[in-house]
Amino acid sequence: MHQDHFLPPAGAFTRSVPIRFSHCDAAGIVYFPHYFDMFNGLIEDWYTEELKHDYAELIMGGRVGFPFVHIECDFKIPSRMGEVIELTLLVERIGRSSLSVVIVCHRDCFERLRARMVTAMMSLETRKPVPLPQPLRAAIESYQQRTALALP
Amino acid sequence: MHQDHFLPPAGAFTRSVPIRFSHCDAAGIVYFPHYFDMFNGLIEDWYTEELKHDYAELIMGGRVGFPFVHIECDFKIPSRMGEVIELTLLVERIGRSSLSVVIVCHRDCFERLRARMVTAMMSLETRKPVPLPQPLRAAIESYQQRTALALP
Amino acid sequence: MHQDHFLPPAGAFTRSVPIRFSHCDAAGIVYFPHYFDMFNGLIEDWYTEELKHDYAELIMGGRVGFPFVHIECDFKIPSRMGEVIELTLLVERIGRSSLSVVIVCHRDCFERLRARMVTAMMSLETRKPVPLPQPLRAAIESYQQRTALALP
Amino acid sequence: MHQDHFLPPAGAFTRSVPIRFSHCDAAGIVYFPHYFDMFNGLIEDWYTEELKHDYAELIMGGRVGFPFVHIECDFKIPSRMGEVIELTLLVERIGRSSLSVVIVCHRDCFERLRARMVTAMMSLETRKPVPLPQPLRAAIESYQQRTALALP
Phi, psi of C30 (to 5 degrees): -60, 130
Give chain A's mean pLDDT.
Answer: 94
Q: What is the pLDDT of residue D150?
A: 54
Chain B positions touching D124 (Cβ under 8 A) are none
Q: What is the pLDDT of residue B149?
A: 67
The CA distance from B82 to the nearest CA of chain D, in Å, is 12
Q: Does the pLDDT at position B152 exceed 80?
A: no
Q: Does the pLDDT at position A1 exceed 80?
A: no
| CA D24 – CA D12 distance, rounded (Å) | 28
The CA distance from D17 to the nearest CA of chain A, in Å, is 12
**Residues of chain C scoring pLDDT < 70:** 1-2, 149-152
Q: What is the pLDDT of residue D118?
A: 98
pLDDT in tens, C107-121: 999 999 999 999 999
pLDDT in tens, B72-112: 999 999 999 999 999 999 999 999 999 999 999 999 999 99
The CA distance from A103 to the nearest CA of chain B, in Å, is 14
ipTM given for this complex: 0.94
**Which residue of chain B has the CA closest to A129?**
B1
Q: What is the pLDDT of residue B22?
A: 95
Chain A interface with C: residues with Cβ < 8 Å: 21-22, 24-26, 28, 31, 33, 81
The gap from C-alpha A123 to its chain's centroid, in whole angstroms, comes to 21
Chain B positions touching C60 (Cβ under 8 A) are 28, 80-82
pLDDT in tens, A6-63: 999 999 999 999 999 999 998 889 999 999 999 999 999 999 999 999 999 988 888 8
pLDDT in tens, chain D (152 residues): 568 999 999 999 999 999 999 999 988 899 999 999 999 999 999 999 999 999 999 888 888 989 999 999 999 999 999 999 999 999 999 999 999 999 999 999 999 999 999 999 999 888 899 999 999 999 999 999 999 865 55
Q: Does the pLDDT at position A150 exceed 60?
A: no
Chain A positions touching D81 (Cβ under 8 A) are 56, 59-60
**What's the per-residue H, E or C state across chain C?**
CCCCECCCCCCCEEEEEECCHHHECCCCEECCHHHHHHHHHHHHHHHHHHCCCCHHHHHHHCCEECCEEEEEEEECCCCECCCEEEEEEEEEEECCCEEEEEEEEEECCEEEEEEEEEEECEECCCCCECCCCHHHHHHHHHHHHHCCCCCC
| Residue B28 pLDDT class (50, 70, 90 cuts) | confident
Q: What is the pLDDT of residue B88?
A: 98
pTM of the model: 0.95
